[in-house]
């Protein structure tokens, strides 16, 4: 099983595919929120590498009719977790990825400024894979250790932009994810007793 560790904003254990779609966070901004999304290109179809191409501005808009609807959009996320559970990092955590758009969390506007965006390869109309939950829980635990203000702040895209977005959708099992996260925490605590 892949082990993850955050060093200087980079997730060790993840494949690195840099996206040009990022900028600097506002000065003195602390990372305090993790946002969970889903994405599939074309919608509800998995594989093909189109998400990676999209985040790199390398998607051929003529490959599928749906791609014409998103032509020219420049978006990114910090991470993508594929159906296999593989994690890909597109943007350094210390930088501002373009994943949330107009959004607010607990009254604080512009979530891109202070959040980390994690995309799961998936859709609103199908369940996610157990490998994705396992990877997500491991990564969130590392992020919470690195950025302590995220400890109690995990939201879906639909929570921070409810009038625009529906992801991660009804098939995302928050209870299962939080159970895995709790197990991850207990596992890490047990390991530390042997140090």
Both tokens assigned to 16 = 């690195």
Q: Under DSSP, is residue 182 helix (H, G, I), strand (E, B) or coil?
A: helix
C-alpha span between 50 and 182 (Å, rounded): 33
CB 27, CB 94: distance < 8 Å: no
CB 144, CB 150: distance < 8 Å: yes
Sign of CA dihedral 181, 183, 186, 192: negative
Residues 6+ apart with CB under 8 A from 130: none
Both tokens assigned to 18 = 């840099």
Q: Which of 110, 119, 129, 131 is catalytic?
A: 119
C-alpha span between 87 and 175 (Å, rounded): 21
CB 146, CB 6: distance < 8 Å: yes
Catalytic annotation present for 119: yes
Between strands 79-81 and 108-109, the pairing is unpaired
Tell me which residues are annotated as active site.
119
């Amino acid at each position: 099983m892949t082990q993850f560790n955050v060093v200087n904003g980079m997730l060790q254990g993840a494949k690195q595919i840099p996206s040009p779609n990022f900028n600097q966070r506002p000065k003195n901004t602390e990372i305090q929120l993790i946002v969970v999304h889903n994405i599939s290109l074309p919608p509800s179809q998995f594989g093909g590498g189109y998400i990676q191409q999209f985040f790199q501005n390398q998607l051929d808009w003529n490959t599928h009719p749906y791609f014409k609807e998103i032509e020219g959009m420049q978006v990114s996320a910090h991470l993508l977790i594929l159906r296999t559970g593989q994690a890909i990092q597109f943007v350094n955590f210390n930088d501002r990825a373009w994943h949330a758009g107009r959004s607010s969390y607990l009254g604080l506007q512009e979530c891109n400024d202070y959040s980390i965006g994690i995309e799961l390869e998936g859709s609103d109309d199908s369940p996610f894979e157990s490998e994705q939950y396992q990877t997500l829980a491991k990564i969130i635990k590392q992020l919470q250790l690195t950025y302590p203000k995220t400890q109690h702040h995990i939201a879906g895209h639909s929570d921070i932009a409810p009038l625009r977005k529906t992801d991660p959708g009804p098939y995302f099992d928050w209870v299962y994810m939080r159970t895995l996260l709790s197990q991850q925490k207990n596992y890490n605590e047990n390991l530390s007793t042997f140090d």
